[in-house]
Structures are given as structure tokens and as C-alpha cells.
């Protein structure tokens, strides 16, 4: 088709999508059942992972702790994979130890590759399953003293988006994907977090919102939803306005700042 025809067609599709999204605001969302599904959650011992395990348990899903070989032999094929385990080291870049940088990349993003390579083949063969990527607000907007953490979470968002596109291209539409992007959670992961516009949430509240999103097969889940507006403003506002918004929000957390300017 020629570009002259394709561009109006694209505009029609965009308009239709906005209208559809608007109408859907007033229609109850159809939720899938996860009863009996085998759900593997990494990092389920604490915080969000633990709260998610309780949420899935309420839906009578079969829960599995992380260990690939065991899992495959003893339980069977995982149909919901939740890559939740994460680590953080809030420090300025120059004070971040090399081993901390490596660990954040290994746990926060590389592990997603290894688990997906282990469990996606069966999901794709059956054209049925769900890959849940726990990223962060830090996968869309950045903060000082979280250079490495934000880099890993941007990578996690990219992994989710590219995998989603790949599954669509391969016509594996039965394999769903969701990306979870929360603001601060009171789990002890980050010490003393605060934000004027989006105060920290309890793991259980976040888990409830995440569960609603997973059951509705939502692709991108922001918690709280206001975070989506913040992400859009960050993308479209001029730099000075973004800086003003940053000051207004007064985002704070404990960080180790070891860098000293030796030229002073």
C-alpha cells in the first residue's frame, strides 16, 4: 500500500484506539482465571514477591519458588512466570562497587533472560502463558544515586516491550506479557523513601493492583496510576519544567554519596 493511503489509515487506527480506550473506561474488564495455573515468582520471600504469592494463592494458583531444574522435574510446565527478584544499591555512580553494578545487572535484567529461555518454549508451543516483568518507575524516569538501578530497569522495560512485539510477530498471541512499574514500596528495599505526589505504598496494596492488571492482561501496569501521567510529562515537558516538577515532588530516600570533588 502507498504511504499516502497508509498514513490516513494509521490516523484512523489511532483515533479508533483512543475511542475504544475511552469506551472501555465504562465497561467492566473481563478477567481471566489463574486457578490451578503454575506460577513461578522469583524473589518471593519478601516484599512485593511475597504479597504477590498471597494474591495468587487466594486465586488457588499453584505456586513455585525459583529453581529451574527442580521446578521442571517436580511440578511441570510453568504457565505464569513473574520475574520479580531485584536488588538495589543507592549510591553515586563513582562510589558504586563494580561487584554491585554486576549484581544489579545480573538479578534485575540478565536473570529475566535465563528464566524466559527456560520457560517460554513451552508457553510458545502451547500458545498459552504469561510473562510478568517487574520493572519500576525507575525504568521510565530517572533519579540521582540510582544510575545503575535505573539502567537495569530501563533494560527491563525494553526487554518487556521487545518481547511483546516479538510474540505478536510470531503470532503467539496466547502468550501474554505484563510490565509492572511501581513507585516506592514500603518493603525496606529502599530506605526511608518519600515523595510528595506519590507517597510510598504497602506491598499488599501494590500486589492487589498488580493482580488486577495481570488478570486483565494489561501490558503496562503503573502503581499508582498517576505515575503514568508523570511519565508522559517527563517525556513531553521541556527540561526546565521537568526540573521544576522534580523539585515540587521532593523525592527523597537514603543513599550513600561517597564522591568528593577533589578539585575544590
* Position among 46, 58, 60, 196 found at the interface with ligand NAD (CB under 6 A): 46
113 as an active site residue: the answer is no
Return the residue matching grid coordinates 498459552. 128
- Nearest approach in angstroms of CB 43 to ligand NAD is 3
d(CA 204, CA 199): 15
CB distance 198 to 226 below 8 Å: yes
Give which of 112, 96, 139 is closest to 42, Cα–Cα: 112
d(CA 220, CA 210): 10
DSSP, collapsed to helix, strand or coil, labels residue 168 as helix
Q: Applying CB under 6 A, which part among 29-37, 168-176, 185-193, 255-263 lies near ligand NAD? A: 185-193
Q: Which of 16, 18, 113, 149 is catalytic?
A: 149
Indicate whether 49 belongs to the interface with ligand NAD (CB under 6 A): yes
- Nearest approach in angstroms of CB 224 to ligand NAD is 12
Indicate whether 190 belongs to the interface with ligand NAD (CB under 6 A): yes
- Prior bond of 224 cis (ω within 30°): yes
- Nearest approach in angstroms of CB 68 to ligand NAD is 12
Nearest to ligand NAD of 182, 213 (CB atom): 182
Indicate whether 230 belongs to the interface with ligand NAD (CB under 6 A): no
Contacts of residue 135, defined as CB under 8 A and 6 or more positions apart, other chains included, come to: 153, 156, 157, 160, 179, 180, 181
Q: Which residues, 79 to 98, sit near ligand NAD by CB under 6 A?
A: 84-87
Provide the binding-site residues for ligand NAD, judged by CB under 6 A: 42-43, 45-49, 66, 84-87, 107, 134, 136, 182, 184-185, 187-190
Amino acid at each position: 500500500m502507498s504511504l499516502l493511503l497508509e498514513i490516513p489509515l494509521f490516523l484512523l487506527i489511532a483515533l479508533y484506539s483512543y475511542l475504544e480506550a475511552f469506551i472501555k473506561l465504562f465497561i467492566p474488564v473481563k478477567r481471566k482465571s489463574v486457578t490451578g495455573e503454575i506460577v513461578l515468582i522469583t524473589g518471593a520471600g519478601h516484599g512485593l514477591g511475597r504479597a504477590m504469592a498471597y494474591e495468587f494463592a487466594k486465586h488457588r494458583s499453584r505456586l513455585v519458588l525459583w529453581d529451574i531444574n527442580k521446578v521442571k522435574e517436580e511440578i511441570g510446565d510453568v504457565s505464569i512466570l513473574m520475574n520479580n527478584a531485584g536488588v538495589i544499591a543507592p549510591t553515586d555512580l563513582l562510589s558504586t562497587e563494580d561487584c554491585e553494578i554486576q549484581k544489579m545487572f545480573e538479578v534485575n535484567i540478565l536473570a529475566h533472560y535465563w528464566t524466559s529461555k527456560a520457560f517460554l518454549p513451552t508457553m510458545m508451543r502451547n500458545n498459552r502463558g504469561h510473562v510478568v516483568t517487574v520493572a519500576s518507575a525507575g525504568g521510565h524516569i530517572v533519579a540521582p544515586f540510582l544510575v545503575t538501578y535505573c539502567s537495569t530497569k530501563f533494560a527491563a522495560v525494553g526487554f518487556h516491550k521487545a518481547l511483546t512485539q516479538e510474540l505478536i510477530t510470531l503470532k503467539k498471541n496466547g502468550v501474554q506479557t505484563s510490565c509492572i512499574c511501581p513507585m516506592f514500596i514500603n518493603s525496606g528495599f529502599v530506605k526511608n523513601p518519600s515523595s510528595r505526589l506519590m507517597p510510598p505504598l504497602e506491598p499488599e496494596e501494590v500486589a492487589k493492583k498488580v493482580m488486577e492488571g495481570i488478570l486483565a492482561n494489561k501490558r503496562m501496569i503503573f502503581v499508582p496510576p498517576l505515575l503514568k501521567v508523570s511519565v508522559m510529562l517527563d517525556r513531553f515537558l521541556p527540561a526546565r519544567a521537568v526540573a521544576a516538577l522534580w523539585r515540587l515532588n521532593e523525592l527523597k530516600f537514603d543513599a550513600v554519596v561517597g564522591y568528593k570533588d577533589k578539585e575544590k
